Structure 1
């Protein structure tokens, strides 16, 4: 059966790679984003991969526009099976250099955009008692870093909002599922168009992963949405666990390293950001899924495989533990016999 999928932030980065992935599955993919060039490129990607595509220019901060886009998706392809929230904007700057209007704008897209998408999806899924919502989160939703206060705040809010909605669906015994996929640093075009007041070009904090890895993780979560959330990349797992058990140490570490690690050695050029308007509007070039860090980005992660095979990983871990206990016991017997 053909799956009907809606992806927000589909014009570039993780959303773009995810659209292509579902196109390769033969899905009907509705693409929501602001950038016209990126949307048209995403349509080509989906169709060349084997799916069908509908591009709907949408600002996720505008609830009415999101509602209208969902209506167009169902008019074209039928009931929505899967809704994937990815869209965001950000500002790279110390908090006191971000204006209140800019902070509000980031919140309206990166947090309320997820609220809007979730709401219009649930309005259609709950009466049918069918459907899945995938929230694309971030490690920064569990552990904030300097210079991204607006984005980190929005991602923390997405986590709390999603947990609340999940509990409500469980209370209603609904078959509609909602899950989170927490992302590491990913090589996306955001670093070439994000509004930045840093003296040097912004960069993701290593290790960096390719957007196709993120797309595969999202697809797996969509296929197996009963889990509360998925972590992508060993750095995500390590950071979330370190925040849980050693947050004060992380504060001091990030205070020392967080400014330098988010900047390259190259001076930042004067360029427009995409906070208020897309940089891939009419007549602009298509940026695609990848940013400028291909040479440093990983395409695979053992942690992703392990998280998707939790039972096997647990069994292997238990077997290894038993073998270790057996080896220790055997060594102890030899020592006793030697006496």
Structure 2
């Protein structure tokens, strides 16, 4: 059965399209790797790439992307709203299909070692791949950001897991690891950066620090201002959407904003999102507003409307929901199969090919059967 791992490297470049395109090309040019999404931000000066493949393929693609970025990104010239420690700031591996978290931990370890060997840069492990408890949290590893690295690397407790404990000005440091699916979710406000950050401090799990915890479990957050959109955002990472659903984050931020008389003007999902997260959100609003919505497509549309997910840019479910993207990639591959391999795929215990693909194949066979000169069965 096909193994799929998702890799979501975040590069510290969101303004130079030539650099972004070059990194994307290095990923899509990796054999058997499917680049699903490229999401750039001007104010954050950051681009999130999302791709899937087998464990070996995604590690290779991530290394190809890092190698390309090494010659194109100079951290001494970087500035942006998003916290960062390096040119390739963070590179997580996430289980998607027929792989375990341990498999993704192995991916992170292999990638980290190879990256350090290839570029001679410091690399840290975080999340499920962390070898020290203090390094499980990405914000903890990234504390102080790029600017703090020269001193941080001198301290024994922050020796990198791979590579030299040396400050590489053009690169910084890279953090890699394994985790569950994370939803990068931002809520738009007509407000200042400071007002947005105030709300973030109240709702995020960390809160305002020791003795002042926030309200939402498994949620990280901060506030920033998007110059290109002329609005502020409460930017969150939802680490476990089953524990704290998307709609809960949205409702809490709306409640906080209302207390401050700040308008909420939609929200934004960065990168891809699991279908289940949106359907859970739809079920919440269907129950809350006593709606009658049955079809999956209509439920997704309801969520787009309720959360204002298309407020900053179009939200195309076929391009933003990971299950749809993976299914689309499978469909493209199915089109190139021989009939024999297609029939074998039908018998396999996989989601694709499904009924639509089988119906199309049967229809083609029926049409060809009326032409005796075509010996189709010989090509099985």
Please give the range of the TM-score, normalised by the shorter of the 2 chains.
Answer: 0.3 to 0.5
- Structure with the bigger RCO (C-alpha within 8 Å, sep 6+) is 1
In our comparison, the structure showing a higher alpha carbon Rg is 2
More helix by share: 1
Structure-2-length-normalised TM-score = 0.30
